[in-house]
A and B are shown apart, each in its own frame.
Chain A
Amino acid sequence: MNQSLHLWLIPLLPFIGFLLNGLLGRRLPKTIVSAVALLAPLGSFLIVLLASRAVLPHAETYGTWISTASFNIDLTFVLDQPSLVMLLVITGVGFLIHIYSVGYMHSDEGYWRYFAYLNLFLFFMTTLVLAGNALLMFVGWEGVGLASYLLIGFWFQKNSAADAGKKAFIVNRIGDFGFLIGLFLLIANFGTLSFSDLAAKIAANPTMTGGILTAIALCLFVGAAGKSAQLPLYVWLPDAMEGPTPVSALIHAATMVTAGVYMVARTHFIFDRSPLALSVVAIIGAATALFAATIGLVQTDIKRVLAYSTVSQLGYMFLGCGVAAYSAAIFHLMTHAFFKALLFLAAGSVIHAMGGEQDMRKMGGLRTKTPITYWTMTAAVFAISGFPFLSAFFSKDAILAAAFASGSLGKLLWFVGLVTAGLTAFYMFRLWYLTFFGETRGHDAHPHESPWSMLGPLVILAILSIGGGWIGAGRFGAFLSPALGTETEELTGSLEYIMMALAVAAGFVGWLIAHRMYHQRSVAAQLAAPAPAGYNLLQNKYYVDEFYGLTIVRPLIYLSKYLLEWVVDVAILGGLAWILATLAVFSGAILQRWQSGNIRSYAAWLALGAAVLLYFVLAPHVFGAPSLHLGMAGH
């Protein structure tokens, strides 16, 4: 065992920040709150940087959590290649977003509360990533759900925000249910939850495929689909945009929602043995990517466009996982963290500039008024659209190539991914044109550039979005292969370049259409034009929320109201309670006569009691007959 890297400090620092700000923040001046909140992720980031030079994988055990005869859970943190990448993203991007938040939230009343929650999130997220067993991961998993709930509903005075928080939490519970069942199945079949032990046990059984492993993999994937907003559980993520924009950037774009991808990659040894589960993951991923991208085409709220874009990009990552290209998925996860965090932060800067307006129809012409926001957003838009040599170009290409190379189903999924790439470019450039070009359509907005605390992170993230792809191009698979297994098939030679050219072409087509629709024709005319067929369907997000409302929420409410409330609660439980209460009232009415408050009546009862006792004690002696045995009556 090599020297300790003190991995425990990585989650602990944000936790201390949470405690300080959470308990004392209300009374502390803003500068101290910010300092505490910023130092925590910075410290964690530095520790991760130091740790990154160590020999990987590196495991540290801090004690035993659960210990029974047949089943043990240790408090173990594992630093290996995927967790290192995740930690760098979480603490690094997290730190940038903390800086941004100082500027974005500066006039909010709940400033200290906001940073306390944000640090709490980092604590749970780093725990999730570092966890060496599935149960510890589950703790982090639930914890980030809690932090997400708290931050979505941060402006809880607003009904929509409070509702969105609840929706996110409840939908996530459905996923967590699957995750838990998966964990129980793992315990029942393998007797351990440690990832390394599980991997070893499965590796020791080369013939073990399908069956129970498929069941476990699908259960785990239900959890991943909930957390990472995949079909059919994606509905919470667009609503989560009710939270402050930096929260959307950190939790609902860069880090938390990618936990599902990370979890699938972490348990890839289970998925690898189950072709069926892999196919399901790939199909769900591709379907989600296409589905969300189509909804994103027509959204008018700038953050909702980005939200559906996030769902769509997460679909890409699952598509990568589903064709066993885990390292490509993690690679896309990283580049996505860069450009999507940037997109959200830049959108936040736009919203800030427009004085809280989120409707893109009321924006426009911000190019000259907020130049730095414009340029950084441009970098992100080009990056996500797969513009050559920007970050998503490499990662998206890696996923699409892996999909193409993985058989006939893969070809279909590749095509879906390609179409999605075009759609992605379209809706991103649509956002770009609507926001930054043309005339300002807002009525009373006086757009102004944001402070440097917000622009600084934008610039850094822009550099990462442009250059981030070079970190991993060609090398990422080799770097991750010790932990995630070797890449499946590689495309060779000209075919790979054709793939790249097609992906880039799809992006350009999307850009071209957006350019024709939103730039060449005036936007006003565009908005006034009659809606094409299907527009309403997309505008209403395929009526999925309404469908869920009708098939799940409404029956549940009726069930709760008529069966559970009226029959079970009012009739049965209420009736029982009524019987007990009446019994108590009657007996009380009788017994209260003793409690007259009259001292002499008490004394009379006392005397009577003494006399009766005395009689029973003495009666055998006096009358000679042991009429009643009261212990001492015998002698």
Chain B
Amino acid sequence: MHIVSHEVPLVWYLILSAVLFCLGVVGFLIKRNLITVFMSIELMLNAVNLSFVTFAHQWHEVKGQIFVFFVMMVAAAEAAVGLAIIIAVFRARSTLAVDRIDLMKL
């Protein structure tokens, strides 16, 4: 299959995906607020989703698309559970600073 010339080149998508992923990693590493950390994780997941979709489009493979749905589903479930935990943590500690939440016990 030929890549049609007026399309955006494949590598742009991949670079965007890598940039998003690195942003997610950096955000995860440097931000202190738990919600921001959480969002950074979502960012990483979606960066991966982007590369999945890119390759699925490239190889005309539907598996990549399906994987994306799985990832989104897991991410949604994770968001539900994670936000619940965050609320519980906030109620118990009155803070969302990651450095202060270093005990498994509430």
Q: Is the CB of B25 within 8 A of A598?
A: no
B4 interface contact, C-beta 8 A: no
Contacts of B30 in A (CB 8 A): 600
Q: How would residues 32 to 46 of chain B score, 1 for a CB under 8 Å from any chain A CB and 0 otherwise?
A: 000000000000000
Q: Which residue of B lies closest to A600 (CB)?
A: B29
| Set B29, B99, B102: member contacting A603, Cβ < 8 A | B29
In the complex the two chains form, is B98's CB within 8 Å of A607's CB? no
Residues of chain A within 8 A of B98, CB atoms compared: 599-600
Q: Are A598 and B99 in contact (CB under 8 A)?
A: yes
B32 to chain A: closest residue by CB: A600
Are B102's CB and A597's CB within 8 A?
yes
- Contact mask for chain A residues 345-373; partner B; CB cutoff 8 A; 1 contact, 0 none: 00000000000000000000000000000
Complex alpha-carbon distance, A603 and B26, angstroms: 10
Is A604 within 8 A of B29, CB to CB?
Answer: yes
Q: Which residues of B contact A603 (CB under 8 A)?
A: 25, 28-29
For A600, the chain B residues whose CB sits under 8 A away are: 28-30, 98
Secondary structure at chain B's binding surface: helix, strand, loop or mixed? helix
Question: For window 15-37 of chain B, which residues contact chain A by CB distance below 8 Å?
Answer: 25, 28-30
> Which chain B residues border A597 with CB–CB below 8 Å?
102
A597 to B98, alpha carbons, bound, how many Å?
Answer: 11
The chain B residue with its CB closest to the CB of A611 is B25
Complex: how many Å from CA A394 to CA B28? 102
Q: With a CB–CB cut-off of 8 A, which chain B residues contact A604?
A: 29
* Set B29, B99, B102: member contacting A607, Cβ < 8 A: B29
Within 8 A of A (CB), among B51-82: none
CA distance A269 to B60 in the complex (A): 94
Please give, as numbers and ranges, the residues of chain A lying within 8 Å of B99 by CB-CB distance.
598
In chain A between 596 and 615, which residues have their CB closer than 8 angstroms to a CB of chain B?
A: 597-600, 603-604, 607
Q: Mark A169-188, 1 if CB is under 8 A from B, else 0.
A: 00000000000000000000
A181 to B41, CA, bound (A): 74
For B29, list chain A residues within 8 Å (CB): 600, 603-604, 607
**Chain A residues within an 8 Å CB radius of B102:** 597-599
CB nearest to A606 among chain B residues: B25
List residues 564-611 of chain A with CB under 8 A from any CB of chain B.
597-600, 603-604, 607
A597 to B29: give the CA distance in the assembly, Å.
14
A600 to B98, CA, bound (A): 8
Please give the distance in Å from A599's CB to the nearest CB on chain B: 6
Nearest-Cβ distance from residue A62 to partner chain B, whole angstroms: 58
Give chain B residues whose Cβ lies under 8 Å from the Cβ of A607.
25, 29
In the bound assembly, the distance between CA atoms of A604 and B25 in angstroms comes to 8
Chain B residues in 8 Å Cβ range of A599: 98, 102
Closest chain-A Cβ to B93's Cβ sits at a distance in Å of 15
A375 to B25, CA, bound (A): 101
Closest to B40 in A: A603
In the bound complex, CA of A604 to CA of B102 (Å): 16
Nearest-neighbor residue (CB-CB) of B30 within chain A? A600
In the assembled complex, the CB of A609 is this many whole angstroms from the nearest CB of chain B, namely 12
Rounded to whole Å, the gap between the CB of B31 and the closest CB of chain A is: 9
- Tell me the complex Cα distance, A618–B86, Å: 38
Say how far B70's CB is from chain A's closest CB, in angstroms: 21
Q: How far is the CA of A603 from the CA of B28 in the complex (A)?
A: 8
Contact with B along A225-247 (1 / 0, CB 8 A): 00000000000000000000000
Give me the 9 closest cross-chain CB pairs, A-B, nearest first.
A597-B102, A607-B25, A604-B29, A600-B29, A603-B28, A603-B29, A599-B98, A600-B98, A598-B99
| 5 A-B contact pairs sorted by A residue (CB < 8 Å) | A598-B102, A600-B29, A600-B30, A607-B25, A607-B29
Where the two chains meet, the residues of B that have a C-beta atom closer than 8 Å to any C-beta of A are 25, 28-30, 98-99, 102
Known: A598-B102, A603-B25; 13 extra A-B contacts, CB below 8 A, are A597-B102, A598-B99, A599-B98, A599-B102, A600-B28, A600-B29, A600-B30, A600-B98, A603-B28, A603-B29, A604-B29, A607-B25, A607-B29
